[in-house]
Structure 1
Amino acid sequence: MQNRLLADIGNTHVHILDNGQIFHLKHEEAIDHYQDRKLYYISVSHTLDQKITQIQNWENIAAKVVLQGAYETMGVDRKALCLSHRDGIFVDAGSAITVDIVKNGTYKGGFILPGINAYLDSYRRISPALDIKINQSIALDKLPLTTKDGISYGIIASIKALIDQHRDDQPLYFTGGDGQFLSRFFEDAIFDERLVFDGMYNALGAN
């Protein structure tokens, strides 16, 4: 089971778990490299759906990714993430930041925030003076004294406050491109880029 080739297909990249290693490839690159191999995938890329359904070696397992309590339009990648563990708060920090809560294997709800780059883009649109890169080492225990730190603090502290509000001593899991960075601001948080793939394995094992 654990040797199965898995792919999580997003809007710009295909994330592939191949023999224990994760690769992040552009759509065409992934198709060219893996179209002759048996692969199980989930996809949120509607523009790519018609093309990948014609690849005979690739199997869409979305119908097997069943999360109790999930709402009808919930993304299959979020469902897979939530299937990685029976309890916890699951944060996928990418283009958007999704936060989902699962208790005893049942989905309890969640919310969606802009991703860090989306926050920064919104500041840029307000004024060129607010066009900054986030301070990766911003401290949240004191008020900022610069524009860069003020923006960084506003973004990170607001994300942290909302997640902390719903934590209730549950395990806190992070994945996604900004997941490792964000996880540093939470006590006992776990960053694991394999979580979606773990959920896919669990879904396949149950069917």
Structure 2
Amino acid sequence: MLLADIGNSRVHIYNGDEVTHLSHQRAIELYSHKQLHYITVKHQLKDRLKKLDNWRDISDKIILKNAYDTMGIDRKALCLSVSSGMFISAGSAITIDVVENGVYQGGFLLPGIQAYLKAYMDISPALQIEFNPNLLLDKLPQTTRDGISYGIIASIKLLVEKHQSNKKLYISGGDGLLLSSFLDNAVYDETLIFQGIKNALKKG
């Protein structure tokens, strides 16, 4: 069974072995004739998706105990991938949620790494940098690039650790692998949302 997570800018399709990342238009062109179950946060696309006979919206199957009404369907799916832990999706925004024994405890949102970088650039062109993935956190930065990179990661890391205690971190999203390298007791897996979808379908 093909599963899809349709985001605001990309479609992520899982065939059971690997995840393919496509534009909305390209995904429809390549997969409209195939049986596919999907969730989506792209509300502007919903009417078009409903016209695809082989595609089925399974958002109503994604049920997370104690989740609030406006919580994104992709966040719910991620939180269903494992029964307990802290779940982080690092994309255009960074979402951080806690689940214990299948019950949602709460969470919060931060700007994504690219949004942080854009905010600095908007302050001044002199602050336009590329993030340093090899940043060391055990000493104070001595360059603008490292200073900005440090400020971004340290602010995320401090908030995560405040709520982490001994919880395992389950991380997904486009910047998830990068972010996981700065966090302790963290696992990066781009299939986590799809594991959550599969768990929800088993119950449904």
TM range (shorter): over 0.9
SS of the residue 1:111 aligns to: strand
The residue aligned with 2:190 is 193
Does structure 1 residue 169 correspond to structure 2 residue 166? yes
SS of the residue 2:44 aligns to: coil
Instruction: Give the ranges of 4+ consecutive aligned residues of structure 1 lying more than 2 Å apart after TM superposition.
Output: none
SS of the residue 1:143 aligns to: coil
Does structure 1 residue 61 correspond to structure 2 residue 68? no
SS of the residue 1:89 aligns to: strand
Which whole-Å deviations, capped at 9, do the CAs of 1:2-42 have from their partners, x for residues lacking one? xx110000011110002412100111111111111110000
Give structure 1 stretches of 5+ with no counterpart.
none
SS of the residue 2:87 aligns to: strand
Task: Quote the Cα distance in structure 2 between the aligned partners of 1:179 and 1:96.
Answer: 11
Aligned alpha-carbon RMSD (Å): 0.7
The residue aligned with 1:85 is 82
For residue 142 of structure 1, the aligned residue among 139, 142, 150 is 139
The residue aligned with 1:151 is 148
Structure 2 residue identity aligned to 1:94: G
The residue aligned with 1:44 is 41
Q: Quote the offset at 1:150 in angstroms.
A: 0.5
If the length of structure 1 is used for normalisation, what is the TM-score? 0.97
Which whole-Å deviations, capped at 9, do the CAs of 1:151-177 have from their partners, x for residues lacking one? 000000110000000001011111001
Task: Quote the Cα distance in structure 1 between the aligned partners of 2:163 and 2:127.
Answer: 31
Task: Quote the Cα distance in structure 1 between the aligned partners of 2:81 and 2:16.
Answer: 18
The residue aligned with 1:182 is 179
Task: Quote the Cα distance in structure 2 between the aligned partners of 1:97 and 1:105.
Answer: 21
For residue 7 of structure 2, the aligned residue among 10, 17, 30 is 10
Which whole-Å deviations, capped at 9, do the CAs of 1:33-89 have from their partners, x for residues lacking one? 111111000000011111001111111000000000100000000000000000000
SS of the residue 2:164 aligns to: coil
The residue aligned with 1:160 is 157
Task: Quote the Cα distance in structure 2 between the aligned partners of 1:158 and 1:39.
Answer: 39
Structure 2 residue identity aligned to 1:44: V
Task: Quote the Cα distance in structure 1 between the aligned partners of 2:150 and 2:199.
Answer: 37
The residue aligned with 2:116 is 119
| Greater Cα offset, 113-122 or 19-28 | 19-28
Task: Quote the Cα distance in structure 2 between the aligned partners of 1:186 and 1:125.
Answer: 28
| Count of residue correspondences | 204
Task: Quote the Cα distance in structure 2 between the aligned partners of 1:19 and 1:160.
Answer: 32
Task: Quote the Cα distance in structure 1 between the aligned partners of 2:184 and 2:124.
Answer: 34
Q: Quote the offset at 1:188 in angstroms.
A: 2.2
SS of the residue 2:104 aligns to: strand
Task: Quote the Cα distance in structure 2 between the aligned partners of 1:71 and 1:5.
Answer: 28
If the length of structure 2 is used for normalisation, what is the TM-score? 0.99
Give structure 2 stretches of 5+ with no counterpart.
none
